[in-house]
Amino acid sequence: MADILQLTLVGATDLINVKAWEIGKQDPYAVVVYNEYEFRTKVHEDGGKNPVFNETFSFPVSTNPTISITIFHDRKRHDDVIGVGKLAFGSAFATGGYMHEKLPLFTTEGRQQGFLEVVVKIPAVIERIQAQLAAAEAARRMEEMRISEAKAAYAAKLKDALKFRKQKAAEKTEAQQEVMDRSLVSLNNTFSYAMTDLTSKTNASKAAFLGAAGASAEHFKAALVVDEPDFYAQLCRETEGEEEFRPEIDAYTGVVFAAARKRYDSVEEAKAEFQTAVEQAVTKYFGKLQGIQAVFEKEAAEASKEYMKEARTKIFWKEEAQAEADVAAFKPPV
C-alpha cells in the first residue's frame, strides 16, 4: 500500500506582478499536479506579490519523486502564469517524513522570481519514525535499568566479598592463633621435658658422682698403705664408665695422694679432708649445671615471647594484604 503524502501550501513571496500595467493587485492561486492527481487552492484576491493560501492536499505517492506547482493570476477569461516550481519530496523520506522549505519559482521565460513556502508530511513515515524512536527510548530505558541493576548487583557482590574476606581473615586469624597456642603448648611441653630430662640427668650424674666419690673414699684406707700408682689404677677401675667425672676424679686422686704423702696419723682425719674436697667439687659442679639451666630457661622464655610476637605480626599483615588484594582483583559482572 502506497504512503499518503500531505502537501501544505503556506504562501508565496516576492512574486512577479503580471498585472503591472493594470489597476489593482493580482489575484494568485496555486495548482498542484502529481501523476493523475490535480488540486487547486482558493484564489487570494488582491494577494499581489505575497499571497497566502494555507491549504493542504493529500494523495498517494509512487516512484515519481516530483510534484509540479504553478501559481496563476485569476482572470475571467484566461489566467496568466505567475511562476512554476518543481518540488522533489524524496528527501522527506530521509528526514523523518517531514519537509519545510521555500520552493523557488520560475517565470515562463525561465527567470527565477519569488518563492513558495511549502510543508510536506508523510504520516506513515512519521509514524514509523515515531515507533522507532519509541522503541529506541524503551530500549534505552531498559538498558539504563539493566545498568542500574548491574551496578546494584556489583555493589552487593563487592559488599559480600568484603564481608567474606573479613570473615575468612577472622577465621584464619583464629586458626593461626590456635596453631600458635598449640605451638606454645608444644614449646612449653618440650621445655618442661628438657628440664625434667636435665633434672633427671643431673640427679643421676650427682648420684653417680657421689657413688664414685664414696667408692673412692672406701678405698682411702687402702690408699694410705699402698703405693700411689697402684691406688690410682684401682680408683680408675672402680670409676670405670664415669668418664665425664674423670677431671674431678683426677683432682680428688691428687687430694688422696697428697693425704697419703702426709701419712696422717688418723685415717678419719684424712677421710674428712677428702670428703670436704669432694663436697666442694660437687657444689662447684652443680653450680655450673644450675647456671646452664638458668640460661636455658631465660633463652626459652625469650624465644617463646619473640615467636608469639612475630607470629601475630605476620598473621595480621598477611590477612590485611590478602583482603585488600582480593577486593582490588574483584571484577564487576559482565
Rounded to the nearest angstrom, the gap between the alpha carbon of residue 215 and the centroid of all alpha carbons in its chain is 80
Q: Tell me: pLDDT of 252 over 90.
A: no
| Vertex 86 angle, CA 42 and 77, to 5° | 40
Helix, strand, coil fractions of the chain, as percent rounded to 5: 60, 20, 20
| Vertex 114 angle, CA 109 and 118, to 5° | 120
- The one-letter amino acid at 58: S
Q: Is 130 in a helix, a strand, or coil?
A: helix
Q: Tell me: pLDDT of 221 over 70.
A: no
Convert the pLDDT of each residue in 155-172 to its tens digit.
Answer: 888 888 888 888 888 887
Tell me the three cell numbers of residue 62.
509512487
Convert the pLDDT of each residue in 268-286 to its tens digit.
Answer: 666 667 677 667 766 776 6
Element spanning 28, H or E: strand 28-34
Q: Rounded mean pLDDT of 252-267?
A: 57
Convert the pLDDT of each residue in 99-119 to its tens digit.
Answer: 899 999 999 889 999 999 999
pLDDT range class, residue 187, cuts 50, 70, 90 = low
pLDDT for 189: 74
Tell me the three cell numbers of residue 182.
598449640
Residue with cell 530521509: 94
